[in-house]
């Protein structure tokens, strides 16, 4: 693989793969760098019901895999490596990775987001021993046992609904008295008899003895404390953009998302951002693939203006 490309795409989720399809179909020499597996976080969705073209829904893993196949069919080159730094290199850009350096005329940043932590005692200690950030990955370990989900957004309810298939009971712990999740998910969760809600409540610590045995809780209105016996806790309290490799180079929002305009242009010419990582993203697959297409078209226009 040559170390110099017209486009280097960082991240192999829906945004990056869509950018890859557009770039390769425009006959650009494009490389996508992904640190884990192609498909991105949609692989965690058991079923995707809101991506057009699949009236009966499609599993997230299959959707991600189809996108990857499509991009590779058009000649997108891929490297499995973690991007550590994005730098300016004269008129070009350099992407420094665990597998070496790739030089590029343009870069599309599509690194998505990762889960936020609760930041309470016991959370790190019991990671993999009852604490999880992925219901799809770990839910089946909790068959016929009570589990908690912490959070009140879409991911928290996706997780709760999925876990209700295995667990004896799913307790959703939310720090407010209302959910942020979309109405359809709320309706499904309220109808599911195994799901209970603890409102205005936060987790103070994860307790256990070698593995999770319960949670120490606090009512944020009264300050009263209580214990909840659970075998597992699934943390779904929001997302943090994967922008560590471009800090100091790109303009970020206070929350760390990459600032872009409608053409997915960052403040640095030739560098674009797309998908969940960019400011104002609705964090949906259909939006991420749209962003990826726009970013690739913008990159193509930029390259055309160079010659």
Contacts with ligand FAD by CB under 6 A lie at 10-16, 33-36, 40-42, 44-45, 48, 50-51, 82-83, 110-113, 155, 158, 242, 245, 275-277, 283-286, 288
**Among the listed residues 281, 287, 261, the one whose alpha carbon sits nearest the alpha carbon of residue 272:** 261
Q: Is residue 189 within a helix (H) or strand (E), and if so which, with residue range?
A: helix 183-191
CA nearest neighbour of 168 among 150, 152, 188, 148: 148
DSSP 220: T
In whole angstroms, the minimum distance from the beta carbon of 231 to ligand FAD comes to: 21
The one catalytic residue in 124, 137, 177, 251 is 137
Q: Which of 2, 103, 138, 276 is catalytic?
A: 138
Q: In the bound complex, what is the minimum distance in angstroms from residue 138's beta carbon to ligand FAD?
A: 12
Could you tell me the smallest distance in angstroms from the CB atom of residue 9 to ligand FAD? Answer: 9
Contact 112, 277 (CB under 8 A): yes
Given 56, 103, 124, 134, which residue is catalytic? 134
Shortest distance in whole angstroms from residue 60 CB to ligand FAD: 6
DSSP 196-209: EEE-SEEEEEEEES
Q: Is 134 labeled as catalytic in the residue annotation?
A: yes
Residue whose CB is less far from ligand FAD, 106 or 242: 242
Nearer to ligand FAD, 34 or 138 (CB): 34
Q: Is the dihedral of CA 81, 85, 89, 93 positive or negative?
A: positive
Q: What is d(CA 172, CA 215) in angstroms, rounded to the nearest whole number?
A: 12
Instruction: Give catalytic status of residue 138 as yes or no.
Output: yes
Quote the CA–CA distance of 289 and 293 in Å, as a whole number.
6
Q: Which is nearer to ligand FAD, 15 or 217 (CB)?
A: 15
Least Cβ distance, residue 72 to ligand FAD (angstroms): 15
Residue whose CB is less far from ligand FAD, 122 or 243 = 243
Answer whether 267's CB lies under 8 Å from 250's CB.
yes
Give the count of beta carbons closer than 10 Å to the beta carbon of residue 51.
Answer: 17
Select 107 or 288, whichever has its Cβ closest to ligand FAD.
288
Catalytic residues, by residue number, are 134, 137-138
């Amino acid at each position: 693989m040559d170390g110099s490309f017209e486009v280097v795409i960082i991240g192999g989720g829906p945004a990056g793969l869509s950018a890859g399809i557009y770039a390769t179909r425009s006959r650009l020499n494009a490389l996508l760098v992904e640190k884990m597996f192609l498909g991105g976080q949609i692989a965690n969705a058991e079923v995707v019901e809101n991506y057009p073209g699949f009236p009966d829904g499609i599993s997230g893993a299959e959707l991600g895999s189809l996108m990857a196949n499509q991009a590779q069919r058009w000649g997108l080159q891929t490297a499995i490596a973690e991007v550590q730094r994005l730098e300016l290199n004269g008129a070009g850009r350099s992407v420094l990775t665990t597998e070496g350096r790739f030089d590029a005329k343009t870069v599309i940043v599509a690194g998505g987001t990762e889960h936020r932590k609760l930041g309470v005692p016991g959370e790190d200690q019991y990671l993999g021993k009852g604490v999880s950030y992925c219901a799809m990955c770990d839910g089946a370990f909790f068959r016929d046992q009570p589990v908690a989900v912490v959070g009140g957004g879409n991911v928290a309810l996706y997780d709760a609904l999925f876990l209700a298939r295995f667990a004896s009971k799913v307790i959703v712990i939310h720090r407010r008295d209302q959910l942020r999740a979309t109405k359809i998910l709320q309706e499904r969760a309220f109808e599911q008899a195994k799901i209970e809600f603890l409102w205005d409540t936060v987790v103070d610590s994860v307790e256990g003895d070698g593995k999770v045995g319960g949670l120490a809780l606090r009512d944020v209105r009264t300050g009263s404390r209580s214990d909840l016996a659970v075998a597992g806790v699934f943390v779904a309290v929001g997302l943090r953009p994967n922008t560590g490799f471009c800090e100091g180079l790109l303009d970020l929002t206070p929350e760390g998302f990459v600032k872009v305009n409608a053409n997915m242009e960052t403040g640095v010419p030739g560098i674009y951002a797309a998908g969940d990582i960019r400011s104002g993203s609705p964090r949906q697959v259909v939006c991420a693939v749209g962003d990826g297409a726009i970013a690739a078209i913008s990159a193509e226009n930029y390259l055309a203006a160079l010659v």
